[in-house]
Amino acid sequence: MTRRRRRFARLALPFVVVLAVALAAYLVGPGSAVWAKPHKVDGENFPAGRLPQEIVDNEYPRTYFPTTEKVGKDEMRIVALGTGMPNQSPSNYAACFFVELGNGEAFLFDLGTGASDNLAALQPDYSKVDKVFASHLHTDHVGDLASLWVAGWLNGRYTPLHVYGPSSSAPELGVKAHVDHISQAWAWDVTSRAGTLPDAGGQLVAHEFDFAKTAVVYDENGVKVTSWPAIHVRDGSVSYRLDWNGLSFVFGGDSAPNQWFLEEAKGADVVVHECFFTPEQWMKISGFPYKEAYWVTSVIHTPAQSFGKIMSAVEPRMAVAYHYWNHRDLEFEIYEGVRETYDGPLTMADDLTVWNVTKDHIEVREVSIDHDCWPQGTSTEWDTAPRSAPATGLMSQWLKDGAREDMIIPPTQPLE
C-alpha cells in the first residue's frame, strides 16, 4: 500500500467506525446503545464511536479535529484555549493553554474567563483534566476555575481538582485564600450535588508555593513543573516550565521582561509569552490617556519589540506570542514589531491554535470544533466512585409540602 493510501485509510477509519456504530444501534433497536458512555482505546477514554488514529512519519492532517488523533507516546500536544484579555471578545477568550502528554496526563496553564468553553469543544476525558497551574490571580488568568470545578465533576472527573499557584505579600492574596473563597462562594452549588456526584470530585484543593523562589512545584510520573518569579503589578505572579521525556514547554502569564525568564526558558521547545500592544495601539483601541497606556503596555506587560528581544535571548524551537486582540488591524502591526527584534520560529497564537511537539518535529495547526458537541460522557469509574447520601435534607418542610405529587412522573426502573 502506498503512503498516500495508508494515510487515507487512517483518516477514513474514524468515520467508518462512527457509521458502523450508528448502524449497529439502529439494527439492535432503541434503548440498547449507551450513547453517553465513552469508548476506551488503549486505556484512554474517547467519545462513543471514535477510533483515534496514530500519526505516522509526522503526516498530520492539516486541521485537528478533537478526539480523532492519539497523542504519541513521545509527543506533547498543546492547544491555546484562550489568547486574549480581561475584556475578551468572542474570538479571544482569556488566557489558557492545555498541554497533553504521551503518558496520558493533561495540564492546564491558567484558566481565564471563557476558556472552559474551548476546553469543552475538545471533548476531553475530564477525569484527566484535574491540574491547573495559575500564573497569577487576575480574572483573565483564573476566571473559569469554578466553571471547570463543577463542569468537570459533572462530566467525568471523580477525583479532586488541584490548583497550583503562587503566594503573595499576604496570606489573603495567595492562591490558597483564592481557592478557599471559591469553595465558600459556591457552597450552595456543591453541597446540593452531594450523593448524585462522586464525593472526591467535589473537592477543590490548593497547592500554594513561594512565588519568590525558583523551584520545582510538581514532580510526578516523570513530569516536572518549575516556577519562578514574574514582574506584574504586585507580588504573586510567576511563570512555569514543564519538562517531560526530553520535551519542554514554558508558559509566561503576565510579566515585564525579567532575568528569571531569560534563565529558565533558555532552549525550551515551545515558549509562550505575552506580546502586548504599544502605548499608541492601546490608546487607539481603549481610549486610555498616554500615561496610563504606557503603564499598562510597557511597565506591567511586554510589548512586541520586547517580546522579540526575549525570544532572541532564549532561542526556543518555537516562540508563541499571545495576550492581545488578534484583530487584523492590530495583528500585523504586532507581528512587525516582533520581527524588528526576533527572526526565529514564531506562532502568532489565536484561540484553538494547536502544536504537536516531538523531538524532531513541531506541527502548527488550527483546531476545527463542533459547536454542537456534547461531553463524551461519564465513565464506569465515575459511576462507581464513592458517594455520600443524597442531599435530601437541605430544603424546608413547607417548601417540600408545596410539591404537586400528582404531576411528578413515577420511575420506570428500580431506584435501588
User: Which whole number is the average pLDDT over 160-171?
Assistant: 98
What does each C-alpha distance from 22 to 17, 30, 121, 285 come to in angstroms?
9, 11, 22, 50
Q: Which three cell numbers stand for residue 133?
A: 497551574
**CA–CA separation, 73 vs 109, rounded Å?**
21
Residue that the C-alpha cell 520535551 belongs to: 247
Yes or no: say if 83 and 326 are a contact pair by the CB < 8 Å rule.
yes
**Shortest CA distance to 140 belongs to which of 274, 338, 248?**
274
Q: Determine the pLDDT at residue 362.
A: 98
Q: Which three cell numbers stand for residue 104?
A: 496520558
**In the structure, what pLDDT confidence band is assigned to residue 35 with cuts at 50, 70 and 90?**
low
Residues facing residue 228 across a β-bridge: 239
**Shortest CA distance to 126 belongs to which of 101, 98, 154, 164?**
154
User: Which whole number is the average pLDDT over 340-362?
Assistant: 98
Q: Determine the pLDDT at residue 378.
A: 94
Find the angle CA(367)-CA(369)-CA(371) to the nearest 5 degrees: 155
State yes or no: pLDDT of 91 exceeds 70: yes
Q: Could you write out the three-class secondary structure of 375-412?
A: CCCCCHHHHHCCCCCCCCCCCCHHHHCCCCHHHCCCCC
- Give tens-digit pLDDT for 116-139: 999 999 999 999 999 999 999 999
Q: Are strands 215-220 and 318-322 parallel, antiparallel or unpaired?
A: unpaired
State yes or no: pLDDT of 90 exceeds 90: no
Find the angle CA(287)-CA(288)-CA(292) to the nearest 5 degrees: 170
Phi and psi, residue 122, nearest 5°: -80, -10
Q: What's the whole-number average pLDDT of the chain? A: 91
CA 391 to chain centre: 31
**In the structure, what pLDDT confidence band is assigned to residue 275 with cuts at 50, 70 and 90?**
very high
**CA–CA separation, 102 vs 260, rounded Å?**
29
Radius of gyration for the alpha carbons in the chain, expressed in angstroms and rounded:
23
Burial 295-312 (b: 16+ CB within 10 A, else e): ebbbebbbbbbbbbbbbe
Conformational region of residue 2, where left means phi above 0, alpha means psi within -120 to 50, and beta covers everything else: beta
State yes or no: pLDDT of 11 exceeds 50: no
What does each C-alpha distance from 262 to 273, 312, 323 come to in angstroms?
11, 10, 19
Exposure of 34 in the CB half-sphere (CA atoms within 13 A): 7
CATH topology assigned to domain 63-367 = Metallo-beta-lactamase; Chain A (3.60.15)
Q: With H, G, I as helix, E, B as strand and everything else as coil, classify residue 3.
A: helix
Q: With H, G, I as helix, E, B as strand and everything else as coil, classify residue 370.
A: coil
**In the structure, what pLDDT confidence band is assigned to residue 1 with cuts at 50, 70 and 90?**
very low
Q: Determine the pLDDT at residue 390.
A: 85
Q: Which three cell numbers stand for residue 359?
A: 523531538
Domain residue spans of the chain:
63-367
User: Which whole number is the average pLDDT over 261-269?
Assistant: 98
